[in-house]
Amino acid sequence: MNRERLKKLASEKRLIPGIYNYCDRWCERCPQTSRCLNFPISEEEFSDPEAQDIRNEAFWNKLSGILGETLELLRKSAKEWGIELEMLGSIDDIENIKAKDVAAENHLLCRAAKRYGEWVEDWFRGRETLFFETAAAAREGVSLEEAIEVIRWHQYFICAKVMRAIQGNIEEGEERCDEFASDSDGSAKIALIAIDRSVAAWAVIQHYFTDCDKEMIHVIAFLDGLRQAVDETFPNARSFIRPGFDEIDPNR
């Protein structure tokens, strides 16, 4: 997509600015695709089945093309706003960012969310075929297939969003105002939504696989503990209004 097309698209009134910042990136299941700038960009750039193959050279070329366009647009906008991009990347800044990344990675919540992602991987390995066979047999009822999809989709997403929330919290530091929800609350909220959905999906699986009960109770309890910890760390997260998802849009 060229720069002019991108600018034209970005100026369309139907789009909700920043809606893609607090979603779960599951565009196939998103009720807001028509209001999201990210959706037509992805559709246009990656609609070619060959380009969807991440091993395909065309995919990476396309991605680097998007990066080039984006950087060019960024430089142009920065010039218009009088921002010197070179000043933003000093060694001190980079060291600072690295230190914050390490602090976030070592945070208990991030480690717990990461552990959950790995646990799901171990648990599904070797069981997936059995699951999909059972799902196919049980298609007429609660969808086991969908429950698996939900867990797999959010497996690493939870950690990514908890991490972003923790990083945001560190960056906001003392400037943070507890009376108002902040960007880190937005990230925590989408992590909490992903946890809630995953817990519900595990409950569906538990219904079908009673012989794995003990392990599933363990994972549900683990997720529930993570949910409580995120809720306690980010008490404003649940009340964060995600543009397009939690508010009534007057343009609709």
With CB under 6 A as the contact rule, which of the stretches 31-39, 188-196, 198-206, 221-229 interacts with ligand SF4? 31-39
Residue with Cβ nearer ligand SF4 (25 or 218):
25
Within 8 A by CB and 6+ apart from 220, the residues are 199, 202, 203, 206
Burial class (CB in 10 A: 0-12, 13-18, 19+), 120: buried
By CB under 6 A, name the one of 1, 9, 18, 26 that touches ligand SF4: 26
User: For residues 62 and 127, which CB has a smaller minimum distance to ligand SF4 in the complex?
Assistant: 62
**Size of residue set near ligand SF4 by CB under 6 A:** 12
Are the C-beta atoms of 85 and 73 separated by less than 8 Å? no
Is residue 144 near ligand SF4 by the rule CB under 6 A?
A: no
Binder of ligand SF4 out of 6, 15, 32, 187 (CB under 6 A): 32
Write the DSSP symbol of residue 180.
Answer: S
Q: Which stretch binds ligand SF4 (CB under 6 A): 26-34, 59-67, 138-146, 182-190?
A: 26-34
C-alpha neighbours within 13 Å on the C-beta side of residue 74: 10
Cα–Cα dist 141/239, whole Å: 34
| Of the candidates 109, 119, 115, 106, the residue with the CA atom closest to the CA atom of residue 184 | 109
Residue with tokens 């990347």: 89
Q: Which is nearer to ligand SF4, 20 or 123 (CB)?
A: 20
Q: What's the min distance (Å) between Cβ of 242 and ligand SF4? A: 9
194 binds ligand SF4, rule: CB under 6 A: no
CA separation for the pair 193, 176 (Å, rounded): 23
Interactions with ligand SF4, residue window 6-25 (CB under 6 A): 19-20, 23, 25
Residue closer to ligand SF4 (CB basis): 20 or 234: 20
The minimum distance between CB 26 and ligand SF4, in angstroms, equals: 5
Burial of 35 (0-12, 13-18, 19+ CB in 10 A): buried
Binding of residue 30 to ligand SF4 (CB under 6 A): yes
Site string for ligand SF4, 34-63 (x = CB under 6 A): --x-xx------------------------
DSSP-based three-state secondary structure for 236? coil
Interface residues with ligand SF4 (CB under 6 A)? Answer: 19-20, 23, 25-27, 30, 32-33, 36, 38-39
